[in-house]
């Protein structure tokens, strides 16, 4: 330290000087020697030095807040937080501030897109036991069986006509192609089910998409079946002719049959319950899927019982009577629960 | 049977002793300065070093935090957050020149954020600046004589009339004994602004605690001293 430096110092200068501050707050041996010598050599500066030092030391006489009584408690809280975060940190994906903003923005956007997609589609569905006729914008007609649903684009007429079906529906598709040798993609009508796609020009057919299985019966016209899943797409697309009945599903082998009387597929339209050589199990599934019943079959052997011949009834009670008469089994109904037993 | 029982008792006594030692460790008055190795060993995951870091700084951090708020819970929360963060980020931390200053700066930021949050629920007066209050209750502090008492109350009045930021810089300068660079770092200023701010504050302090107050006190003091020297 330079003795000469301090000769002209004012109180303010001293307050700005780091070495002087150290001397007042926490003097080293060297500091004490230096400042004692300085005051001895320059007695006229003593008052200023004293004033500066007094100002600092008086200011420093402040009440302290050490909060010692909480020292241990706060530490215990810290270590329990650390332990808690240790155990969960492994599987917590932490996001930074910017990432958080980006993520919430993205979610917001996603919600908007999803809402748009939802709002841009028309949803039509039916309750158990109800049949509903829907006129599509291109004046094709869909008759929906009970517990079924179709979804199609609001701007249905522009571009390919596409309908997504769950449940059962009878389609009467309007023919808009005038030149069968030159089919434009815009003239197609496609029905999507969970298991297959049906490409149509103009025709009437019945589609039943229930329990991961789709059955298509063609009544008139011509349709082509394709499969959306990769494995099945190796199998060739199939073109159906009237009377063809195709069944395809996730865990079911594709079956193609000929129907003697394809019109029977449409009997449900008039609230008819129609079956041909059905098993009790098949009847039970229809009761559950279309009419919303809960069917309990007491033992497995009963469900394999077959009723020979055709059933064509419009009332469920008639159906129950036929079942109980043919096999001498009892059909008990309690609200929406049906129990079939010996 | 008897032997087993004796062994158990020994264990209990050991447990008791170690818990007493723990308690004592927390209550021991600690020095501001810490062995620089402690920081390094804390960063490598040494829990004892972490505990030492905590015990060395808990009191002064509370004291600093108390300058901004009287809400003890808020200060403790900020200290809690600070140390939890230190532990979880220990491997990413550098080696600050002064650990204490680093902790001051971090605590200050945490506390400000918490106070900002609280502000949304509590009506805060016209002071858009952050609060910083010079400790007013000096009654309990031992004061040598009347003239010093006058000087102290004068200083107090002047400091309290300063804007919060000037009060804080005065505190960091004369209570904590920091230089401009350290002050600038803690308060998030550049060195020039720190200097300007401190210059303003000291100037006002000096202006208001005029020679009058100091000299009344000093003449008394010097008279005493010179008589001592003569004797």
What's the complex ipTM? 0.74
State how far residue B2 is from chain A, nearest Cα, in angstroms: 37
> Alpha carbon of A42 to those of A39, A54, B219: distances in Å?
5, 18, 17
| Residues A279/A257, Cβ–Cβ less than 8 Å | no
Contact flag B27-A71 (C-beta cutoff 8 Å) = yes
| Structure token digits, residue B211 | 């020679």
Q: Give the Cα separation of B88 and B201 in Å (integer).
A: 39
Q: Which two tokens stand for residue A180?
A: 């069968």
d(CA A40, CA B93): 48
Residue B224 reports pLDDT greater than 80: no
Q: Residue A169 burial by CB count (10 A; 0-12/13-18/19+): exposed, middle or buried?
A: buried
Classify domain B31-125 at the CATH topology level: Rna Polymerase Sigma Factor; Chain: A (1.10.1740)
Q: Tell me the whole-structure pTM to 2 decimals.
A: 0.49
Write down the pLDDT at residue B31: 40
Q: Is the per-residue pLDDT at B4 higher than 70?
A: no
Chain B residues in contact with A65 by the CB 8 A cut-off are: 62-63, 66, 135
Chain B within 8 Å of A12 (Cβ-Cβ)?
yes
Decide if B31-125 and B132-231 have a common fold: no
Q: What percentage of chain B carries pLDDT values higher than 70?
A: 64
Residue B10 confidence (pLDDT) = 38
Residues of chain B in contact with residue A85, where contact means CB-CB under 8 angstroms, are 84, 88
Other C-beta atoms lying within 10 Å of the C-beta of residue A75: 19
Residues of chain A contacting residue B88, judged by C-beta atoms under 8 Å apart: 82, 85
Topology of domain A272-341, CATH: Phage tail protein beta-alpha-beta fold (3.55.50)
Q: Is A58 in CB contact (< 8 Å) with chain B? A: yes
DSSP H or E run through B19: helix B2-27
Architecture, CATH, for domain B132-231: Orthogonal Bundle (1.10)
> Tens digits of per-residue pLDDT, A118-162?
777 888 898 888 888 888 888 888 999 889 999 988 877 777 788
Question: How many Cβ atoms are within 10 Å of A336's Cβ, its own excluded?
Answer: 13
Q: Which residue of B has its CA nearest to A89?
A: B88
* B162 closest CA partner among B206, B191, B128, B205: B205
Block mean pLDDT (10 aa), chain A, length 342: 83 90 91 90 86 86 89 93 73 70 88 81 87 86 90 79 91 74 73 88 85 88 78 68 86 82 81 83 88 87 86 84 85 87 85
Q: Which residue of B has its CA nearest to A23?
A: B177
pLDDT of residue B44: 92
Contact A55/B at CB under 8 A:
yes
Q: Is residue B34 predicted with pLDDT exceeding 70? A: yes
CA distance B61 to B110: 12
Considering only CA atoms, which of B102, B82, B110 is closest in space to residue B39? B102
Q: What is the SS3 string spanning chain A?
A: CCCHHHCCCCHHHHHHCHHHHHHHHCCCHHHHHHHHHHHHHCHHHHHHHHHHHHHHHHHCCCCCCCCHHHHHHHHHHHHHHHHHHHHHHCCCCCCCHHHHHHHHHHHHHHHHHHHHHHHCEEEEECCCCCCEEEECCCCCEEEECCCCEEEEECCCCCCCEEEEEEEEEEEECCCCCCCCCCCCHHHCEEEECCCCEEEECCCEEEEEEECCEEEEEEEECCEEEECCCHHHHCCCCEEECCCEEEEEECCEEEEEEECCCHHHHHHHHHCCEEEECCEHHHHHHHHHHHHCCEEEECCHHHHCCECCCEEEECCHHHHHHHHHHHHCCEEEEECCEEEEEC
Residue of A nearest to B221 (CA): A50
CATH code at A126-264: 2.60.120.1440
CA A15 to chain B, closest CA, distance in angstroms equals 7
How is residue B177 written in tokens?
């004994």
DSSP state of B171: I
A47 burial via Cβ count (<10 Å: 0-12, 13-18, 19+): middle
pLDDT at res. B106: 95
> What is the pLDDT, as a whole number, of residue B22?
32
Residue positions counted in chain B:
231
- Listed in order, the ranges of chain A carrying CATH 2.60.120.1440 are 126-264
Band of pLDDT at residue B125, cut at 50, 70 and 90: very low
What is the CB neighbour count within 10 angstroms for residue B121?
6
Q: Is B170 on the interface with A (CB under 8 A)?
A: yes
Q: CA-based Rg of chain B, rounded to a whole angstrom?
A: 23
Query: Cα Rg for chain A, rounded, in angstroms?
Result: 43
Distance CA B173, CA B167 (A): 10
Q: Summarize the confidence of residues B196-211 as an average pLDDT.
A: 83
d(CA A21, CA A12): 12
Give the pLDDT confidence of B110-124 residue by residue, as tens digits. 998 888 887 665 444
pLDDT (0 to 100) of residue A269: 80
Which is nearest to B193 in space by CA: B205, B207, B203, B183?
B183
CB contact under 8 A, B152 and A61: yes
Q: How confident is the model at residue B86 (pLDDT cuts 50, 70, 90)?
A: very high
Q: How confident is the model at residue B182 (pLDDT cuts 50, 70, 90)?
A: very high
Per-residue pLDDT, B123: 46
Least confident of A275-289, A322-336, B91-105, B131-145: B131-145
- Mean pLDDT value across residues B194-220: 75
| A251: exposed, middle or buried (Cβ count in 10 Å: 0-12, 13-18, 19+) | exposed
Q: Provide the residue ranges of all domains of chain B, joining segments of one domain with +.
A: 31-125, 132-231
Q: What is the pLDDT of residue B29?
A: 34
State residue B211's pLDDT score. 57
- Look at residue B57 in the predicted model and tell me its pLDDT: 95
The pLDDT, as a whole number, for residue B217 is 59
* Cβ proximity of A81 and B79 under 8 Å: no
DSSP state of B130: P
B214 near A55, Cβ under 8 Å? Answer: yes
Enumerate the CATH 3.55.50.30 domain ranges in chain A, comma separated.
272-341
Which residue matches tokens 């008492």? Answer: B149
Judge: B202–A16 Cβ closer than 8 Å, yes or no: yes
Nearest C-alpha in B relative to A79:
B84
Query: Quick one: what percent of chain B has pLDDT higher than 90?
Result: 35
Rounded to the nearest integer, the mean pLDDT of chain B is 74
Read off φ and ψ for residue B96, nearest 5 degrees.
Answer: -65, 150
């Amino acid at each position: 330290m330079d003795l000469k430096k301090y000769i002209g110092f004012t109180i303010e200068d001293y307050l700005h000087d780091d070495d002087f501050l150290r001397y007042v707050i926490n003097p080293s041996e060297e500091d004490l020697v230096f400042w004692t010598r300085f005051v001895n050599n320059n007695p006229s500066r003593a008052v200023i030095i004293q004033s500066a030092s007094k100002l600092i030391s008086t200011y420093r006489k402040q009440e302290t807040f050490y909060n010692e009584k909480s020292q241990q408690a706060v530490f215990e809280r810290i270590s329990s937080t650390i332990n808690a975060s240790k155990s969960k940190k492994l599987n917590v994906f932490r996001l930074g501030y910017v990432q958080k903003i980006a993520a919430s923005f993205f979610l917001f956007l996603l919600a908007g897109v999803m809402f748009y997609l939802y709002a841009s589609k028309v949803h039509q569905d039916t309750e158990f036991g109800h049949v509903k006729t829907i006129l599509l914008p291109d004046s094709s007609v869909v008759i929906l069986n009970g517990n079924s649903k179709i979804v199609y684009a609001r701007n249905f007429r522009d571009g390919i006509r596409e309908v997504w079906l769950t449940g059962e529906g009878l389609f009467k598709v309007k023919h808009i192609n005038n030149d069968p040798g030159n089919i434009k993609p815009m003239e197609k009508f496609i029905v999507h089910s969970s298991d297959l796609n049906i490409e149509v020009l103009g025709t009437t057919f019945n589609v039943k998409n229930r329990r991961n299985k789709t059955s298509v019966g063609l009544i008139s016209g011509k349709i082509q079946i394709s499969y959306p899943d990769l494995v099945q797409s190796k199998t060739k697309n199939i073109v159906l002719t009237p009377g063809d009945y195709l069944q395809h599903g996730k865990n079911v082998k594709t079956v193609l049959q000929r129907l003697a009387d394809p019109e029977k597929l449409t009997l449900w339209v008039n609230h008819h319950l129609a079956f041909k050589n059905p098993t009790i199990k098949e009847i039970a599934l229809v009761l559950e899927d279309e009419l919303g019943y809960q069917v309990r079959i007491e033992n497995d052997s009963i469900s394999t019982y077959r009723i020979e011949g055709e059933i064509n009834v419009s009332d469920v009670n008639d159906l129950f009577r036929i079942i109980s008469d043919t096999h001498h089994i009892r059909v008990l109904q309690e609200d929406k629960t049906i129990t079939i037993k010996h | 049977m008897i032997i087993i029982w004796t062994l158990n008792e020994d264990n209990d006594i050991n447990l008791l002793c170690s818990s007493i030692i723990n308690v004592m460790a927390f209550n021991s008055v600690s020095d501001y300065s810490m062995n620089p190795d402690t920081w390094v060993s804390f960063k490598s995951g040494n829990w004892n070093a972490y505990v030492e870091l905590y015990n060395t700084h808990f009191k002064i951090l509370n004291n600093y935090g108390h300058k901004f708020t009287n809400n003890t819970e808020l200060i403790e929360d900020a200290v809690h957050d600070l140390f939890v963060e230190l532990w979880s980020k220990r491997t990413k931390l550098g080696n600050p020149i002064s650990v204490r200053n680093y902790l001051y700066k971090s605590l200050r930021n945490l506390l400000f954020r918490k106070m900002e949050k609280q502000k949304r629920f509590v009506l805060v007066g016209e002071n858009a600046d952050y609060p910083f209050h010079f400790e007013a209750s000096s009654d309990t502090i031992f004061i040598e004589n009347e003239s010093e008492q006058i000087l102290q109350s004068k200083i107090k009045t002047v400091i309290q009339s300063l804007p919060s930021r000037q009060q804080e810089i005065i505190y960091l300068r004369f209570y904590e004994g920091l230089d401009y660079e350290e002050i600038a770092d803690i308060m998030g200023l550049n060195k020039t602004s720190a200097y300007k701010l401190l210059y303003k504050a000291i100037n006002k302090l000096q202006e208001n605690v005029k020679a009058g107050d100091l000299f009344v006190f000093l003449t008394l003091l010097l008279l005493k001293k010179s008589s001592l020297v003569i004797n």
